[in-house]
A = this chain, B = another copy of it.
């Protein structure tokens, strides 16, 4: 991990519960009140998706797809939401969020006003390990089967 800036929380800290790590990026499970809400965080300090090299960009897209497919296979969300915002923490990271009709904001973006108390179930501790395995499986499909 490249510790570019002491000021940057994603240069200093994992940013959540570690689920996946390679030379370029990592996937962490967040503590946000949305089940399965992950962040794909770039390891080196880059601000925008369009700052990545072609090789990095390809891997970033593959990782987004592997994470999204893993979450879909485990949780069957009604929709996936993915976003790279970073106005407050300008270090490239993607929110990868499974959405459910019973979550606090559906069908609004999670950054809008809450519509209700969430009625989504709490995931068991074993979910972390299941997610690790599912991301590895889906990444292998993306990288090796090319789909």
Contact = CB atoms under 8 A, between A and B. Distances in A.
16 contacts: A48-B68, A48-B72, A50-B72, A50-B80, A53-B147, A54-B142, A54-B146, A57-B65, A60-B61, A79-B86, A79-B90, A81-B83, A83-B85, A83-B109, A87-B108, A112-B112
Contacts of A83: 81-85, 109
A13 to B, nearest CB: 20
Q: How large is the interface on A (under 10, 10 to 19, 20 to 34, 35 or more residues)?
A: 35 or more
Nearest to A143: B54
A65 B85 contact: no
A50 B79 contact: no
B54 A147 contact: yes
A68 B84 CA distance: 12
A146 B65 CA distance: 21
A99 B87 CA distance: 8
